[in-house]
Structure 1
Amino acid sequence: MSQFKRFFTFVLAGMTALSLLAGCSQQSSSGSTSQSQPSSAAPSGSPASSSSENPASKTDAAPSESQPASASSESAPAEPETGKTLVLYFSASGNTKAVAETIATAAGSELYELTPAEPYTSDDLRWTNPDSRVNTEHNDPAHRTAIAGELPDLAAYDTIFLGYPLWWREAPSIVWNFMENADLSGKTIIPFCTSTSDGIEGSVETLRGMAPAANWMQGRRFGENLNESAVTQWVNSLELEADGSSQPAAPEGTSAEPASTGTNALVVYFSVPEDVDTTGVDAIAGASVLVSNGTALGNMEYMAGIIQRETGADSYRIVEQNAYPRDHQPLIDQAQQEQRNNDRPAIAGELPDLSGYDVIYLGYPNWWGDMPMILYTFLDAVDLSGKTVVPFCVHGGSGFSGTIRTIRQLEPGAEVLDGLTISRNSIGGAEQEIVTWVNGLPVNQ
Structure 2
Amino acid sequence: MIRRSTAARGLALAAVLSLGLTACASSEGGGGDDGEGETTAEPLTIGTILPVTGTLAFLGPPEIAGVGLAIDDINSAGGVLGEDVKVEWGDSGDSTDLSVANSTATDLINKGATAVIGAASSAVSLGVVDTFAEAGVMQISPANTATDLSGYGEFFARTAPPDTVQGAAHGSLILDDGHCKVGFLVQNEAYGTGLRDNVQKAVEAGGCEVVYGGTGQGHEFAPGETNFGAQVTDLLAQKPDAISVIAFEETVAIVNELVSQGWDFDGTTYFCDGNLSNYGDQFDPGTLAGVKGTLPGAQADDSFREELKAWYTENEDGELNDFSYSAESYDAAVLAALAAVKGGATDGETISANIKAVSGADGGTEVTTFEEGVTALEAGDDINYVGKSGIGPLNDKNDPTSAFIGIYAYGKDNTYSYERQIEGKIE
- Computing the radius of gyration over CA atoms, which structure comes out larger, 1 or 2? 1
User: Normalization by structure 1: what TM-score?
Assistant: 0.28
User: Normalization by structure 2: what TM-score?
Assistant: 0.29
Q: Using CA pairs below 8 Å that are at least 6 residues apart, which structure has the higher relative contact order?
A: 2
